[in-house]
Amino acid sequence: MAVKVIGKRISSFTDKKTGEVITFGKIFVVYPAGEDMKGAEGEIAEAISVKPELASQIPIDSEIELYYNKYGKVHAFDLA
C-alpha cells in the first residue's frame, strides 16, 4: 500500500548510560483507513522509524511504497 509522506525528522541524542550518540530517522505519513480497520474512517496518520540514511532520501509530499525486512523494519522504498 502506498503512503503519502507529509514530513520527516532526522535527529540524534546521547545515550545516558553509554555516552554514545544515537542518530535516528522518522517519516510521517498518511494513508486511507482500510475497511479492515475497525472504527477507523478517513485517513490514518503514522510516524514510522527508518534509518537516517533512508529518511534523507525520501522526498516530502511524495507517494511511496515501503518495504519491510523479516524483522518488521523498513529497509527500502520506491516512489509510487
Q: Is the dihedral of CA 22, 79, 36, 72 positive or negative?
A: negative
Q: What is the pLDDT of residue 55?
A: 97
Q: What is the pLDDT of residue 1?
A: 82
How far is the first Cα of the chain from the last one, in angstroms, to the nearest whole number? 9
Q: How confident is the model at residue 11 (pLDDT cuts 50, 70, 90)?
A: very high
Tens digit of each residue's pLDDT (9 = 90 or more) over 30-69: 999 988 889 999 999 999 999 999 999 999 999 999 999 9
Using CA atoms, how far residue 37 sits from 21, 23, 30, 42, 67, in Å, is 38, 33, 14, 11, 21
